[in-house]
Every structure is written in structure tokens, then in C-alpha cells.
Amino acid sequence: MSEKSYVKSPQNAVNRLRNRANYDYETIHNIVNSTAVLHVSFVPSSEDPFPVVLPMIGQMGTFALPSSTDLDQPLDLYLHGAIASRIMKLSQNAVDRGEEGFPLCVAATKVDGYVLALTPFHHSYNFRSAVVHGYAHVVADPDEKMWALELITNKIVPERWQNTRTPPNKVEMQSTHILKMKVSSGSAKLRWGVPNNDRGDLKNPDVLANYWAGVVPMWETFGEPISSAHNQAPVPKYLSGYLEEARRENEAVAMEASKEQE
């Protein structure tokens, strides 16, 4: 464990398959920031036995170093939502009660491939998954809120904020809330490489003759941008350039994960 990592505790310790566990800031923050949809879970009330899990958009950053893109440091998680959503109200209520914030658990998962072994038991995915815990509150500072909106908008497409009608007007700002989660723990789990197989299966000529094993690389790709009817200008360079890079990069990561590793 490096100094640039989350401290292992009962909350974030990966108990199974420890060799796949990782606690580094950079690894964890990179998974969160490259995942289009985060799954955010919370307990709506102590009477309800069911937690809630919601898809949300979020990005990690630090307002203390607003232009920093260094992921290898402690960061906060900023989540975007409508003012009327339950998670925003519950977070506000927690702060109003004088609590540290509203307890959240957030997961980000990327699948890099199907791992198809000789027997179903050894089937798996190549994947990168991160889980972060922390206490969330609604951002009150208007400067921090504006900065976080830019951070989250540029998560989708870099430079997008600068290339839209900004800043948001008063009604737009009032309808949107940003949750800030101070991360108390984080962990990641990763799997890459070729299938594991039983020695018995690998020595069995019938099994080897009849069943195929290997990896199917899998990644998110993008089509050509489809312009809205009102557009007068062609697709901008910052967008087409980013999509080209993202298609290539996503494929390269999946292909790299599919190879045999030491």
C-alpha cells in the first residue's frame, strides 16, 4: 500500500480475492471519473429495511485545487441532481439535524471483457470496480457549485462547458443541486487476463477438443454525433476529436486487459 491510498478498514477491506484488491487514490478515482453512471446507495429511513440504489452522474475533484487534474490525492465526490429528488432532501435534513452529512455508498463499474473458461465455474468478467463511502451534503457556496457543475459537464465531454451557453441562469441554478461527498473510505477490485482453468480440464483431451475458451474484449463506443435540427454549424472539433480518442482508448484498454499477464 502506497502513501497515496485509502487506509484499509473494516468498511472498505476487500475480504475475497484479495490479490484483485487495490486501495490507491489514482486507481479508484480514475474508475469513478471514467464511469458514465455511478450507482449511489443510501438508507432512506431506519424503519425501512430496504436501501435505495440510484443511477447518478458524478465526478471526483477538489475545490481547494480547482484546476488540478491530479487524481493521486484525496478528492471529494460531486454528484448532480434535481433539487426535488429524495437524496437531496435527505442530505439537507441530515445537515439540518447537525449531522456530518448523509451516509452514501457509491459504486462505479467498468466491464472490459467476458472471460469464457472451459467450465462455467471459472467464467468471469474482466472488470474494474470502485466503491467509495462518505458523508454527503448539498453544496451551498455558489462558487463551489458553479465549479462543480463545470467539473461534471466536462466529465461527459471535455471542454463542453466552455462551448455551451454559460453560466446557467438563475432558474437553472435554483433547479439544480450538487451533492458533495467527503470520501471516508475507498477500494477497488480489478480482474484482467485470460481464463483460469482446472488442471483436470486442461489435461482432458475431450474437453479441449470440444470446448472453446478465451476472452471477448468489451468496451463502450460512440457513433457519429447527430446534430439537432436547429444546428447551423458542423460538428465541432473538440467533440469529434474527443470521441475519436475515446473510441480508440476504450478499445485499447479492453484489448490490453484481454492479454495474459504475469
Distance, CA of 128 to CA of 32 (rounded, Å): 10
Which range binds a second copy by CB under 8 A, 24-32, 58-66, 70-78, 158-166? Answer: 158-166
Which range binds a second copy by CB under 8 A, 1-9, 25-33, 61-69, 252-260? Answer: 252-260
Closer to a second copy at the Cβ: 95 or 208? 208
**Is residue 42 near a second copy by the rule CB under 8 A?**
yes
Q: Spell 185-205 as b/e; 16+ CB within 10 A means b.
A: bbbbbbbbbebebeeebeeee
Cβ 3 to a second copy, closest distance in Å? 25
Cβ 211 to a second copy, closest distance in Å? 5
Which range binds a second copy by CB under 8 A, 21-29, 41-49, 65-73, 136-144? Answer: 41-49
Residues 6+ apart with CB under 8 A from 126: 111, 112, 113, 114, 115, 191, 192, 193, 215, 254, 257, 258
Distance, CA of 140 to CA of 64 (rounded, Å): 15
Please count the residues of this chain forming the interface with a second copy, following the rule CB under 8 A.
101
Distance, CA of 214 to CA of 203 (rounded, Å): 17
**Is residue 194 near a second copy by the rule CB under 8 A?**
yes
Q: Spell 145-161 as b/e; 16+ CB within 10 A means b.
A: bbbbbbbbbebebbebb
Closer to a second copy at the Cβ: 74 or 225? 225
Distance, CA of 112 to CA of 217 (rounded, Å): 6
CB-count exposure of residue 243 (10 Å: 0-12, 13-18, 19+): middle
Per the structure block, which three cell numbers stand in for 239? 467533440
DSSP run (H or E) holding 133 = strand 124-138
**Is residue 61 near a second copy by the rule CB under 8 A?**
no
20, 111, 144, 158: which one binds a second copy (CB under 8 A):
111
**Is residue 123 near a second copy by the rule CB under 8 A?**
yes
Cβ 250 to a second copy, closest distance in Å? 9
Which range binds a second copy by CB under 8 A, 21-29, 58-66, 68-76, 236-244? Answer: 236-244
Which of positions 5-34 make contact with a second copy (CB under 8 A)?
11, 15-16
Per the structure block, which three cell numbers stand in for 131? 466503491
28, 118, 178, 253: which one binds a second copy (CB under 8 A):
118
114, 158, 159, 182: which one binds a second copy (CB under 8 A):
114
Which range binds a second copy by CB under 8 A, 19-27, 64-72, 122-130, 136-144? Answer: 122-130
34, 62, 92, 166: which one binds a second copy (CB under 8 A):
166
